[in-house]
């Protein structure tokens, strides 16, 4: 899905070196079977895709630039395993190289450092007590960098450190009730310009003009914070329950070697349900449950709240139906203006339904569909899939997805204007977005023998969005907007396709300009992995990954033209061979 939000997209790790033994680095898990979260984005203390990431440094304007796609991994060492039977231990160290961009300005060639030499370290240890009734663990991560270009210090953190402790304990002999939780702290260091940029990025938004709990400190050279989460589960018997409370302080940041969506959050929910596990005259299995949930920001504003109900019914023939229902009343939105004033979220409701055929059969059909309806957002999706097993060792899966959305308030940009006194000297511009997105997942798993297997996966995507009815926030803490050309001023198209709003305050010289935000994006991601166990415990992996993409400033969804562009787009191919050898099979 094309990401139009202010949050970074989270991608799954695909590199075999980082996948093997990765479960030891899972933090905050253990004891509990379920970790419900309603509008809770769990911080990831370790996100292995940070190692070898795309360079973070900026480059000056140039006629030509050649930017590295990622930092080269000069070396990496990983140790995972069990010690003394009940200790899980994991350690990882990696060094990535200094990267430079090649630039050309008026025939003059020069280089610019865009990623410093970096060391990454992760340490994890966890102790499981007898019968798994309790567990206790710690985890730490560190990133340290060496710069040659002092200007790069304004783009990248100099150092970062994160530490956390997690664990669980069952509350009764039968292991019906369990408490699971974690607590962590972080610190990042850098130049004053860098720490200012971190405070103002989408994870923090310290610059919000009507926030009472934070302010940007432009002289700070470090940022510290803490976070915690605790769950209480009942997970045996027909009745089950799941409740949690989580807190992420505004200064918490593990993004250097982890993944963090947002901060300044207090999140909580209580949920319960009932399982019917004994087959009856109609149903083999049934489940009904529900929850109440709420999010606060650090000022006590309710950012999200509502009620959720879900259910599953499995017939005697193993066909299964499921549904989710949710309702959200009015709440305060502290992210829509992306660092600007608060607005409101109108009430809305969500409905999701699904059906799945008998999973024991060679053909398995799955159908999912749903919608969310609110004044601020109307969308629906359709997601069928088919799994086919022509033999016990072969699985072919095909799953298309269609998504359509009408969003009256999709963010376009922020424009400084001292005359906009009602919105703190800035104009926050939005547009009505009509978006259509079609994607698919195609997977083939073929196990030729116990020692030889092949996995192939492809994911094509077409996404188009057309904007109109451009508007700006009229007043903070409302859902009121001023539509250009209808409520105030005029809006015209310039010869280069950009939009010009003029005038908007009665001053003939007052205007703002923004580029046409329409888009039409196509992409294809695919990979193939051949695994051969040439000796017992010793394996060779042959990996081929291909990605290609193309985008145009066209808002119409055009399937044939988009597929043609996709087939002719330049492809990036990566070939990888990994060899392991077991000395004591």
The reported pLDDT for the residue numbered 489 is 84
The reported pLDDT for the residue numbered 348 is 97
DSSP 8-state code for residue 338: S
Q: Is the pLDDT of residue 582 over 90?
A: no
The reported pLDDT for the residue numbered 1 is 75
User: For residue 465, how many other CB atoms are within 10 A of its CB?
Assistant: 24
Cβ atoms 32, 233 nearer than 8 A: yes
Cβ atoms 247, 262 nearer than 8 A: no
The reported pLDDT for the residue numbered 370 is 98
- The closest of 311, 304, 322 to 376, measured between CA atoms, is 304
What value does the mean pLDDT of the chain take?
A: 94
Better-predicted residue by pLDDT, 580 or 326: 326
Q: How far apart are the first and last CA of the chain?
A: 44
Where residue 132 falls among pLDDT bands split at 50, 70, 90? confident
Q: For residues 38 and 577, what is the distance between their CA atoms, to the nearest angstrom?
A: 41
Using a 10 angstrom Cβ sphere, with 0-12 exposed, 13-18 middle and 19 or more buried, the burial of residue 179 is: middle
- Extract the tokens encoding 158: 């100099």
The reported pLDDT for the residue numbered 505 is 66
> Which residues, other chains included, contact 217 with Cβ-Cβ below 8 Å and sequence gap of 6+?
195, 196, 199, 206
Tens of pLDDT, residues 308-354: 999 999 999 999 999 999 999 999 999 999 999 999 999 999 999 99
- pTM, entire model: 0.91
In degrees, rounded to 5, the angle at the alpha carbon of residue 257 between the alpha carbons of residues 251 and 261 is 50
Cβ atoms 253, 224 nearer than 8 A: no
User: Before 503, cis peptide (omega within 30)?
Assistant: yes
Q: For residues 263 and 41, what is the distance between their CA atoms, to the nearest angstrom?
A: 9
* Residue owning tokens 């610059």: 207
Using a 10 angstrom Cβ sphere, with 0-12 exposed, 13-18 middle and 19 or more buried, the burial of residue 11 is: exposed
> In the Cβ-directed half-sphere of 126, how many Cα atoms lie within 13 Å?
26
Domain boundaries in the chain?
Answer: 18-264
The reported pLDDT for the residue numbered 335 is 96
* Residues listed for the chain: 585
Q: Is the pLDDT of residue 515 over 60?
A: yes
Better-predicted residue by pLDDT, 85 or 140: 140
* Residue owning tokens 């589960």: 233
Cβ atoms 412, 386 nearer than 8 A: no
Q: For residues 377 and 574, what is the distance between their CA atoms, to the nearest angstrom?
A: 39
DSSP 3-state percent helix, strand, coil across the chain (nearest 5)? 5, 55, 35
pLDDT above 90 coverage of the chain, percent: 85
Tens of pLDDT, residues 161-190: 999 999 999 999 999 999 999 999 999 999
Q: Is the pLDDT of residue 508 over 60?
A: no
In degrees, rounded to 5, the angle at the alpha carbon of residue 136 between the alpha carbons of residues 131 and 137 is 130
Q: For residues 541 and 234, what is the distance between their CA atoms, to the nearest angstrom?
A: 42
157: left (phi over 0), alpha (psi -120 to 50) or beta: beta
Rg (CA), the chain: 26
Mapped onto helix, strand or coil, the DSSP state of residue 33 is: coil
DSSP 8-state code for residue 119: E
Q: Is the pLDDT of residue 488 over 90?
A: no
Helices (H), 7-129: 16-19
- Extract the tokens encoding 464: 């188009």
Using a 10 angstrom Cβ sphere, with 0-12 exposed, 13-18 middle and 19 or more buried, the burial of residue 547 is: middle
Q: Are strands 73-83 and 320-328 parallel, antiparallel or unpaired?
A: unpaired
Q: Is the pLDDT of residue 506 over 60?
A: no
Cβ atoms 122, 108 nearer than 8 A: no
């Amino acid at each position: 899905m094309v990401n139009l939000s202010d949050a970074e997209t989270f991608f799954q790790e695909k590199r075999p070196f980082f996948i093997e033994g990765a479960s030891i680095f899972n933090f905050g898990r253990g004891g509990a079977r379920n970790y419900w979260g309603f509008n809770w984005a769990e911080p990831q203390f370790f996100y292995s895709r940070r190692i070898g990431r795309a360079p973070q440094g900026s480059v000056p304007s140039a006629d030509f630039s050649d930017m590295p796609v990622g930092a080269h991994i000069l070396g990496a060492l990983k140790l995972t395993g069990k010690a003394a039977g009940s200790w899980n231990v994991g350690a990882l160290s990696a060094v990535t190289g200094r990267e430079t961009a090649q630039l050309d300005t008026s025939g003059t060639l020069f280089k610019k450092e865009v990623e410093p030499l970096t060391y990454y370290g992760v340490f994890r240890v966890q102790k499981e007590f007898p019968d798994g009734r309790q567990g206790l663990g710690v985890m730490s991560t560190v990133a340290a960098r060496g710069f040659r270009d002092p200007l790069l210090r304004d783009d990248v953190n100099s150092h970062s450190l994160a530490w956390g402790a997690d664990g669980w304990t069952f509350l009764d002999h039968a292991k019906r009730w369990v408490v699971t939780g974690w607590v962590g702290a972080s610190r990042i260091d850098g130049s004053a310009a860098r720490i200012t940029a971190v405070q103002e990025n989408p994870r923090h938004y310290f610059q919000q003009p009507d926030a009472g709990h934070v302010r940007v400190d432009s002289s700070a050279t470090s940022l510290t914070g803490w976070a915690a989460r605790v769950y209480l589960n009942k997970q045996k018997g027909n009745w089950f329950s799941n409740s949690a409370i989580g807190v992420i302080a505004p200064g918490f940041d593990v993004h250097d070697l982890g993944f963090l969506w947002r901060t300044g959050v207090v999140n909580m929910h209580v949920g319960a349900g009932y399982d019917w596990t004994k087959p009856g005259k109609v149903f083999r299995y049934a489940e009904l449950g529900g929850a109440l949930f709420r999010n606060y920001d650090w000022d006590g504003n309710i950012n999200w709240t509502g009620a959720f109900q879900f259910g599953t019914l499995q017939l005697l023939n193993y066909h299964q139906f499921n549904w989710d229902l949710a309702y959200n009343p009015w709440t305060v939105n502290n992210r829509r203006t992306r660092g600007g004033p608060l607005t409101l979220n109108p009430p809305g409701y969500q409905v999701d339904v699904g059906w799945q055929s008998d999973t024991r059969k060679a053909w398995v059909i799955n159908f999912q569909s749903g919608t969310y309806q609110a004044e601020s957002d109307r969308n629906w999706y359709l997601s069928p899939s088919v799994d086919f097993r022509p033999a016990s060792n072969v699985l072919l899966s095909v799953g298309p997805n269609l998504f359509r959305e009408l969003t009256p308030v999709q963010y376009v940009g922020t424009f400084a204007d001292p005359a906009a006194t009602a919105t703190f000297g800035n104009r926050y511009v939005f547009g009505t977005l009509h978006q259509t997105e079609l994607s698919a997942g195609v997977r083939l798993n073929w196990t030729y023998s116990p020692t030889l297997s092949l996995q192939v996966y492809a994911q094509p995507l077409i996404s188009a969005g057309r904007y109109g009815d451009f508007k700006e926030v009229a007043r903070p803490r409302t859902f009121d907007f001023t539509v250009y050309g209808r409520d105030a001023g005029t809006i015209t198209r310039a010869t280069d396709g950009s939009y010009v709003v003029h005038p908007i305050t009665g001053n003939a010289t007052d205007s703002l300009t923004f580029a046409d935000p329409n888009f039409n994006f196509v992409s294809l991601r695919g990979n193939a992995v051949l695994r051969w166990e040439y000796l017992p415990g010793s394996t060779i992996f042959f990996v081929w990954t291909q990605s290609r993409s193309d985008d145009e400033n066209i808002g119409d969804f055009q399937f044939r033209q988009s597929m043609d562009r996709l087939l002719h787009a330049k492809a990036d191919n990566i070939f990888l061979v990994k060899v392991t050898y077991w000395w004591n099979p």
